[in-house]
Amino acid sequence: MTLEGFGANVCNCSFESFAMSPFSCSLVDHGTLAVPKFFPFDPTMLSKPLPTSISLSVCLGLSAAAAVLALHASSCKKNNNKTGGKKKPSRWQLCWAQTLGRNSYQLANVRVPVAVFRAEVSACMNVDQEGLVECNITIQDGTIAAIEERTDGGTASSSFWTTVDCHGCVVIPRFADAHTHLVKSQTVPRNRNSTGTMTEAFAADGSDEPRWAYQEDVFRRMDFAAKCAVHHGTRTIRTHLDGCSSPDPSVQQAVYGAFDNIREKYSAVLTVQGVANLYLPLWMTLEATQHADQAAAHPNVVLGAYVGNTADIPPAETLQAMDALLTHAARLQLDVDLHIDESNDPRCCAMKVWCESLKKSRAAGYQGRVVLGHCCTLSLQDAATQAFVCTQLAALGAYVVSNPLTNLGLQDRQGSKPPLSLMIPNDQSRTPQWRGLTLLQELRAAGVTVACASDNVRDQW
């Protein structure tokens, strides 16, 4: 569910939740770090390939949280191999067991990714070749009281604290998964995208959507996704609410109903947010008001748009639709999250138009948070356009979320060739070349906060 490999690279991502301060820079500040109160990880799940239930009541001060989780998969696998399938506690599990029942203790000899420290703090740290810093973490009353770099190589001891020697285990913040589609997760067994193209993904979406009118179906799959997310260390998850703008009101109701139930069910351990998307041009229609009002009636839901390929649409028209979306967002004081430039067409650069629209909206006083998802075609623009968009987004305070697992395949799996929008027949062998990623490094260098998210999990995309 979570892109674990990117966990440490999620730039400036808030420990607690991007609901409170999306991708804020306040990660590690000794003494003030926000800490999850629960450690929702049930070690009995380790012997199971996928969790079907999870104990949400395992209460531990943060800490643990920290999450060890990155290690869990590999250590579990290793142990199973070594012991012929018999479960044997791994190193981190033994450490973790020593913290059970305690609210104050020290995790000594852990390694923390340098990426989670503020620049002024990390500048004078000893960082190893893997980007990790040896630290001791003091937990007081379930909250991180201090994270100190181990400079003497020894284990700090105190008669007051129980000290747990973690033998170099990696400790990372829990994940904020900023872009997912839980409504249609796990639908691939019943509805495959055999060509791996966007065209077929759209078609498959359409053929599966009538099933989303059954709230039990949507809830069951969202529930499984949420369990997996919690199990693997996610603290906050944002899901796009596919179907919430369906022409069938029963689909809308089922999607919102399932979302509300999931949000409530997991509220103690997982912040669940939703995005109420509408195809961008529809924001100029009358139905947009009802769509936006319905979104505003549900806690934790923001407004969104599937921008689509704007290459053949006059920029003024695209601008008008974006203005309409932002007008509703300002009216309801809601944040905005877009699917934008998710294409392999170099003629498409809706982000440039978005900069113009958001600039006007900011000037008019709109202060909502704005997340742009995908942004694939930015990497196909000329250098001047790329620089313009990067600097504008930084100035306007927008966030960019890349979804590599989906876009590495979807934008050039088998389907396109230079110029990139030309399709290649399925029976023609060809190695993918352009992989659909946005300019993460350039955006970050320009001052834009960037992150990577899971996006689609076992659906048609």
Which residue in the block uniquely carries the two structure tokens 């059970």? 100
251 with 192: CB under 8 angstroms?
Answer: no
Report, in Å, the least distance between residue 373 CB and Zn ion.
Answer: 6
Q: Based on CB atoms, which residue is closest to Zn ion, 170 or 183?
A: 183
Q: Based on CB atoms, which residue is closest to Zn ion, 352 or 374?
A: 374
State how far the Cα of 184 lies from the Cα of 74, in Å rounded to an integer: 28
Q: Based on CB atoms, which residue is closest to Zn ion, 113 or 373?
A: 373
Report, in Å, the least distance between residue 150 CB and Zn ion.
Answer: 41
Helix (H, G, I), strand (E, B) or coil at 137: strand
Report, in Å, the least distance between residue 253 CB and Zn ion.
Answer: 22
Report, in Å, the least distance between residue 392 CB and Zn ion.
Answer: 23
Q: Based on CB atoms, which residue is closest to Zn ion, 326 or 457?
A: 457
User: For Zn ion, which residue has the nearest CB?
Assistant: 455
Which residues lie below 8 Å from residue 338, measured CB to CB, with a gap of 6+?
Answer: 304, 305, 307, 354, 370, 371, 372, 373
56 with 37: CB under 8 angstroms?
Answer: no
Q: Based on CB atoms, which residue is closest to Zn ion, 174 or 181?
A: 181
Q: Based on CB atoms, which residue is closest to Zn ion, 376 or 448?
A: 376
Q: Which two tokens stand for residue 324?
A: 């309409």
Report, in Å, the least distance between residue 188 CB and Zn ion.
Answer: 15
Residues forming a β-bridge with 106: 138, 163
Report, in Å, the least distance between residue 258 CB and Zn ion.
Answer: 18
Q: Which two tokens stand for residue 17?
A: 């939740």
Q: Which residues bind Zn ion (CB under 5 A)?
A: 455
CA distances from 330 to 291, 296, 326, 363, 370 (A): 15, 12, 6, 12, 12
Residues forming a β-bridge with 374: 340
Among 136, 132, 135, residue whose Cα is nearest residue 163:
136
